[in-house]
Structure 1
Amino acid sequence: MRKLVVIEYLSLDGVVQGPGHAAEDEDGGFDLGGWTGPHMADHREWGSPLYQAAGAFVFGRRTYDLWLPHWSTITDPDDLIAAALNGRPKYVASTTLTAATWPGTTVWPDRIPERVAELKAQPGGDILIAGSAALASDLIDRKLVDTYHLWFHPVVLGAGKRLFPPGLAPQQDLDLISSTTTRTGLAILTYERALNS
């Protein structure tokens, strides 16, 4: 059984909205986008092995649209993140996207939890969700996420979307597998869903 792996950038108060740049996600009047900027070098250094290990990627529509124009154009074979993203299957959950222009992409218009469960049952490497917090939260709620890579950034934002919003499924226990502190102060915590959850 393949694992579903989530990697998320969070503020210390649990916000995941708009980590990359100012206009990334302004829903609800959020104007604090780009808060991960000082840590980009650490993102690449510590994230690269996760992308290389993935056998497939699952995206929400917003993340897919943000990543497509950048990552799909990188042809440098030494860029291991781009090589993984461009060379492996990608699945995007969207009811409005009719055709995917990023080669290797399949659009999932419906039955997302069922499709994820079916993909997990197929042979191959683990399935990675990077960003796509709304999709990740839904799959967490349905107990489909197996491994969490939570990257806590040394910033408190006070407002914004959260990975674990109120109303998630009842208690889910996690086991801490590893913890790392990077040179710029990121705390990277890796958890697996406990067997009894």
Structure 2
Amino acid sequence: MGKVIASVSCTLDGIFTGPKGDEDNMVSWAMPGVIDATMNNLIMFQQAEALLMGRVTYEGFSTYWPFQEGDWADAMNKTHKYVATRNRECDVKWGDYKDTITLLSGDVEAKLVELKKEFNGDIVIPASADLVQSLLNASLVDEFSMIVHPIILGSGHRYLKNISSRKDLKLLRTQHYETSGSLRLCYEVIK
């Protein structure tokens, strides 16, 4: 059975965007840690059997990755991708990689239960906070791979703001990135 891993970069106070008024800009605080963690992130995405993303993440990624080259582009473009949305009218495309993308609309939670049965490997969710919150509330997230950056923004969008009940976690591993001072925390969601 496939394992769903939520992957995100966030600040110490749980913000995964830029600050209020500049939410689309996380470059100012995230880039040092992102650069430090590049190889570990690349390995995670290369080993993923599938990617699952919300509509907003899909819209950003689909305008960039299909037009890039190299190891990262191969990991993003050649891995099968699923776009979760409650909007049944959404049309998903991924450049010349048409056969690698599928729309999951309607009851996304039920469809993910079926997908987890189809896969043996990891299904990685990059960012996609609303999707992760929904799936965590439905007990469908198995692990978190979070890079916590040494900054407190105080404003912006929190990654886990709408969680309906307590979720206990078991620490699987950590990785300290010395240049940026960022820390990767990998947790299993105890069910």
TM-score category (smaller protein): 0.7 to 0.9
Residues 16-62 of structure 1 show CA distances to partners (whole Å, capped at 9, x for unaligned) of: 124xxxxxxx8x63457222122331231220111011000011111
Partner Cα separation in structure 2 for residue 6 and residue 101 of structure 1: 21
**Structure 1 pair 191–158 and aligned structure 2 pair: CA distance change class (3 A):** same
Alignment-derived partner of residue 17 in structure 2: 17
Tell me, what secondary structure is at the counterpart of 2:59? Answer: helix
Structure 1 residue 163: Cα displacement:
1.9
Residues 114-137 of structure 1 show CA distances to partners (whole Å, capped at 9, x for unaligned) of: 111111011332100011111111
Q: Is the strand fraction higher in 1 or 2?
A: 2
Partner Cα separation in structure 1 for residue 69 and residue 129 of structure 2: 27
When normalised by structure 2's length, the TM-score is: 0.88
Match runs of 1:157-176 below 5 Å:
157-166=153-162, 168-176=163-171
Unaligned runs of 5+ in 2: none
Partner Cα separation in structure 1 for residue 120 and residue 12 of structure 2: 34
Unaligned runs of 5+ in 1: 19-25
Tell me, what secondary structure is at the counterpart of 1:29? Answer: coil
Tell me, what secondary structure is at the counterpart of 1:52? Answer: helix
Partner Cα separation in structure 2 for residue 59 and residue 32 of structure 1: 17
**Structure 1 pair 45–69 and aligned structure 2 pair: CA distance change class (3 A):** same
Alignment-derived partner of residue 37 in structure 2: 43
Partner Cα separation in structure 2 for residue 93 and residue 75 of structure 1: 26
When normalised by structure 1's length, the TM-score is: 0.85
Partner Cα separation in structure 2 for residue 48 and residue 128 of structure 1: 12
Match runs of 1:127-166 below 5 Å:
127-166=123-162
Identical-residue share of aligned pairs (%): 30
Report which structure shows greater RCO (CA 8 Å, sep ≥6): 2
Aligned-residue Cα RMSD (Å) equals 1.8
